[in-house]
Structure 1
């Protein structure tokens, strides 16, 4: 990651091709290699799973277009934190920052690390690999990438470029293999494709959680709004092109999976791409395991690479410890933020399994997406005079808000679990912390001494935002 001086210099250097690549490259990660079985298991039928994948793409696009308007009305770095801060207020913005640092980002990191581990160890086990082995490998990759991103921007960038090429090649192989099988007449798994569909509210919600995990990253460009050339045109255009391409590719990949595997085989597979590779490529099936692991590795690296930006903005606004807005004096990497996020991720990894992690991530993320959509509606109704280089019809944020509320409430209504109450209470606890530590700034002397100690120990210094 670049130093904040460079990363936030706000030079408009990202054109349409770069913007499309940035969105698509961030979205396509480990999800499409591991989520299809969970979507199918939750919704119950192949036909309904295709509908879920298509609707997840549509919802991501509508939400992305709404974010395009927010990004041009408030052209600041920080994504949801800035939008919530400017529309809802300081307390809720702090709650978001607190939840993002402690829940959303570590849970996302842990989910991708578990995806990597599942594929990395799959070739070495004939059946389901032991969870302890999977978690140890996941912990190892988190620490390796944390060290890489703390030490070298150039190396982490190289990893990202190579892994993006590998993931695109792997998906192309899966799509082409499925097309060949279809032309050979293997369509039996699509007979009565909607039979057995689960229509329960909770089942639909969980299926969307798992599908939307694979589309996570649709809002990535909002962290680069000030660096996009002609954002009025390129921001919405890049979102439409990138998400349309990803949705089309995801549907083709799912068709290929179900052409090669029966629904039962797909649902029982721990690593879908590996099972697909073994059935189609035979003795070369291990290649898909390597490709999927490298894709997850690249996604995890991208999370580390871009993860410090929101920390910087929140720290500058006084909502997080100032140490999180600092960078290494020589390597120009956001090492304090990376170290802290890594530590929290390792704690989250201990009890979590992939499916639960995705559910809690989605529950928390869509709660804040709903707040962000509410902020956009507020701006449209109460402040119509604000300059809007790009704007969407008011029906779009309303539809996304309704969908977000459904996604937050669906798992609770039909199948309430105590874990969702814990997550909600944890989110709300951020408001309690805001009053003493942010509003009244308790223990400033102790915090200052700790900051100075960490500055010397980590060799970091404050960064300045270039406007």
Structure 2
């Protein structure tokens, strides 16, 4: 057998005197610290600002009924995520392990809750989010080329969208596998492109306002048609919350951040307010030319906005939206693969997923695993339904992570906490998570019921695959005797 070192090997390599000198001198292989402050900000902004701002405005207006209440929901969702990000800064700097919510649940509550998060992320959160982004990218990309030719035939359009979405996932998977620095540099470039796209939309909005085009932003019409149904308002918050999805994803790659004690909280403090302001100004721009009804019925809000703006700007918007969604997909693939990597390292997924390439310092099996699950989700077409499922399940586990913070404050008060937020913030955030989980269970039991069943289905899987290994041999023999 050749004595050359394999490209992909397990994370923790133990020294062994029987190995050749070349192998014996190997140090433990770890993920390389390659994320600085600017890359951290780009990772959060690039992951969060993606398909959501070009899809969710329709869902928010549909449930709120007016432009004024929609803008309030967008601001409230930003505030909500900002409070949550502060809590995650404490968790991330206290528990210096990649994996985000998975690591925090495991530290505070043990193996089963951590596995349930990993299971839900594997089944719903990560692949559904990536599929939504990839499908949005494909829809915007093919719209000017296919829609007119196949206006009366949906099948070619659907096949084209699915193929392009799968291809985009494949391309970004290759880049993330081949070189971590390529992935972070691409993220920086695409983040600038998407901020340019939104700056373009906001500039058009300001020009419209300067010309007196703000009919749906006047005091007399701002709250006309506002719904008073609390259940609908909570669903509108889900749509907005999806657009902020990814605000906690940098915690998944914590082991790769340079000086995380400083760079993690700084990246959060810069990114979340910036994203909230951008989202508010973008929605204000939409309302300068679109009525709430037009927003609600539009399948591509940015394109509808461009068509109603002076000049032929549709192709520019489509180009910018494509860059924006591609950047978000790249950020999600990069960070979420680290979650599965950490889960496999803890023996909650096949051990091969916990291997990294010693030349590229990249968890290639975890990235491929994430990409495969995302591709499988691309066959779904109802994006708004996917958003509701995703947001409900994510709200459950985000609340669980903040509960972990509160429990660790009580259980382990002496834990080293470089950042310690005021106790009011995690308590308030936890109560809001409870509201977001319980209220839709009453108003939309089907969507939330399916989400809960998906989570609970992980319990028998856990006991059959994880706990079964820990059982005494005589109990295993009883099962094996049959």
The answer to whether the superposition gives a TM-score over 0.5 is: yes
The answer as to whether partners of 2:249 and 2:335 remain within 8 angstroms in 1 is no
Tell me whether 1:69 sits opposite 2:97 in the alignment: no
Partner of 1:427: 455
Partner of 1:184 in structure 2? 211
Q: Does the CA-based 8 Å contact 1:436-1:442 persist in structure 2?
A: no
Which of 157, 161, 168 is the matching residue for 2:195?
168
Q: Which residue in 1 is equivalent to 2:103? A: 82
CA drift at 1:148: 4.1
1:373 to 378, 388, 402: 402
1:119-171 superposed Cα distances (whole Å, 9 cap, x missing partner)? 11222335797544433432332333334434454654454233222111111
- Rounded to whole Å, the distance in 1 between the matches of 2:180 and 2:427 is 40
Work out which of the residue numbers 324, 341, 355 in structure 2 matches 1:312. Answer: 341
Equivalents in 1 of 2:167, 2:435: separation in Å?
A: 36
Q: How many pairs align?
A: 439
Question: What is the alpha-carbon distance in structure 1 between the residues aligned to residue 119 and residue 342 of structure 2?
Answer: 13
How far apart, in 2, do the equivalents of 1:10 and 1:30 lie? 28
Structure 2, unmatched stretches of 5+, are 1-7, 12-27, 472-482
Task: Specify the alignment match of 1:439 in structure 2.
Answer: 467
Q: 2 CA distance for matches of 1:155 and 1:366?
A: 32
Alignment of 1:267-416 (within 5 A): 267-280=296-309, 282-328=311-357, 333-416=362-445
Give CA-to-partner distance per residue, 1:68-114, whole Å, 9 cap, x none: 11112212211111100010110111111121122211011111011
Q: Which moved more, 1:330-339 or 1:35-44?
A: 330-339
Q: CA RMSD in A?
A: 2.6
Q: CA deviation at 1:259?
A: 0.4
Q: Bigger shift: 84-93 or 183-192?
A: 183-192
1:8 aligns with: 31
Provide the rounded CA distance (Å) in 1 between the counterparts of 2:85 and 2:323: 27
1:211 aligns with 2:233: no
Q: Tell me how far apart the structure 2 counterparts of residues 395 and 330 of structure 1 sit (CA, whole Å).
A: 46
Match of 1:318, SS state, is coil
State the SS of the aligned residue for 1:391.
coil
> How far apart, in 2, do the equivalents of 1:19 and 1:146 lie?
20
Aligned to 2:139: 118
Paired residue for 2:170? Answer: 143
CA drift at 1:221: 3.0
In the other structure, the counterpart of 2:276 is 247
Aligned to 2:474: none
Contact kept in structure 2, 1:278 and 1:286, CA below 8 Å: no
Aligned-pair distance for 1:341?
2.6
What does residue 194 of structure 1 align with?
223
Q: Is 31-40 or 139-148 further displaced after alignment?
A: 139-148
Deviation at 1:115, TM superposition (A): 1.1
1:261 maps to what in 2? Answer: 290
SS in 2 for 1:327: strand
2:47–2:329 contact (8 Å) kept in structure 1: no
- Counterpart Cα distance in 1 of 2:50 and 2:133: 8
Distance in 2, Cα, partners of 1:320 & 1:230: 29
What residue is the counterpart of 1:462 in the other structure?
A: none
**Of 36, 42, 61, which aligns to 1:21?**
42
* CA drift at 1:401: 1.0
**Pair 1:160–1:9, CA change in 2 (3 A):** closer
Q: 2:377 & 2:102 partners in 1: Cα distance? A: 23
C-alpha contact (below 8 Å) 2:49/2:244 kept by paired residues:
yes
Distance in 1, matches of 2:369 and 2:259, equals 36
The normalised TM-score by structure 2 is 0.84
> Are the equivalent residues in 2 in contact too, given 1:370–1:401 (CA < 8 A)?
yes
Task: Report if the CA contact (8 A) 1:367-1:408 is conserved.
Answer: yes
SS at match of 1:197: coil
The equivalent of 1:52 in structure 2 is: 73
